[in-house]
Amino acid sequence: METLKFKNGDEMPAIGLGTWKSEKGKVEEAVKIALNNGYRHIDCAATYGNEAEIGNALSTVFSEGKVKREEVWITSKLWNDSHKEEHVIPALKQTLKDLQLEYLDLYLIHWPVAFKHGVSFPSKDEDYLSLEEVPIIETWNAMIEAKEQGLVKHIGVSNFSNKKLRDLMNESDEVPEMNQVELHPFLQQHELLEFCRENDIHCTAYSPLGSGDRSEQMKAKNEPSLLKEPAIMEIAKKHNASPAQVLIKWAVARGTAVIPKSTSKEHIISNLESEKLPLDEEDMKKIAGIDREFRYVNGEFFVTPGNPYDNIYDL
Ligand SMILES: NC(=O)c1ccc[n+]([C@@H]2O[C@H](COP(=O)([O-])OP(=O)(O)OC[C@H]3O[C@@H](n4cnc5c(N)ncnc54)[C@H](OP(=O)(O)O)[C@@H]3O)[C@@H](O)[C@H]2O)c1
CATH number at residue 12: 3.20.20.100
43 lines ligand 1 (CB under 6 A): yes
CA–centroid distance, 17 to ligand 1, in Å, is 9
Give the 3-state secondary structure of residue 95: helix
- Read off the pLDDT of residues 148-186 as tens digits, 9 standing for 90 and up: 999 999 999 999 999 999 999 999 999 999 999 999 999
Mutate to test the pocket of ligand 1, among 20, 41, 178, 266 (most ligand atoms within 8 A of CB): 20
pTM, 2 dp: 0.98
Determine how many CB atoms are found less than 10 A away from the CB of residue 213: 13
185 lines ligand 1 (CB under 6 A): no
Mutate to test the pocket of ligand 1, among 54, 211, 312 (most ligand atoms within 8 A of CB): 211
- Read off the pLDDT of residues 188-226 as tens digits, 9 standing for 90 and up: 999 999 999 999 999 999 999 999 999 999 999 999 999
Set 48, 128, 296, 313: catalytic member: 48
pLDDT at 17 over 80: yes
Closest residue by CA, ligand 1 atom 43: 213
- Read off the pLDDT of residues 26-46 as tens digits, 9 standing for 90 and up: 999 999 999 999 999 999 999
Q: Quick one: average pLDDT of 105-127?
A: 96
Q: Quick one: average pLDDT of 225-248?
A: 98
CA–centroid distance, 182 to ligand 1, in Å, is 11
pLDDT at 315 over 80: no
Q: 119 lies in a domain? A: yes
Contact 214, 296 (CB under 8 A): yes
Q: Quick one: average pLDDT of 219-236?
A: 97
Distance CA 92, CA 46 (A): 9
Q: 153 lies in a domain? A: yes
Q: 307 lies in a domain? A: no
Distance CA 131, CA 194 (A): 27
Q: What is the mean pLDDT of the chain?
A: 97
Closest residue by CA, ligand 1 atom 11: 18
Contact 47, 79 (CB under 8 A): yes
Q: 314 lies in a domain? A: no
Mutate to test the pocket of ligand 1, among 78, 182, 209, 219 (most ligand atoms within 8 A of CB): 209
CA–centroid distance, 58 to ligand 1, in Å, is 20
Q: 209 lies in a domain? A: yes
- Those residues whose C-beta lies under 8 Å from the C-beta of residue 266, and which sit 6 or more positions away, are none
From start to end of the chain, where are the E strands?
3-5, 11-13, 41-43, 73-78, 104-109, 114-115, 128-129, 152-158, 178-182, 202-206, 257-258
Q: 229 lies in a domain? A: yes
What's the domain range around 193? Answer: 3-301
246 lines ligand 1 (CB under 6 A): no
Phi/psi at 40 (5° precision): -135, 30
264 lines ligand 1 (CB under 6 A): yes
Count of domains for the chain: 1
Question: pLDDT at position 252, please?
Answer: 98
Q: 308 lies in a domain? A: no
DSSP state of 6: P
CA–centroid distance, 162 to ligand 1, in Å, is 24
Say whether 103 is catalytic. Answer: no
Strands 41-43 and 73-78: parallel
Q: Quick one: average pLDDT of 247-262?
A: 98
User: Which residue, 217, 222, 232, is CA-closest to 298?
Assistant: 217
Q: 315 lies in a domain? A: no
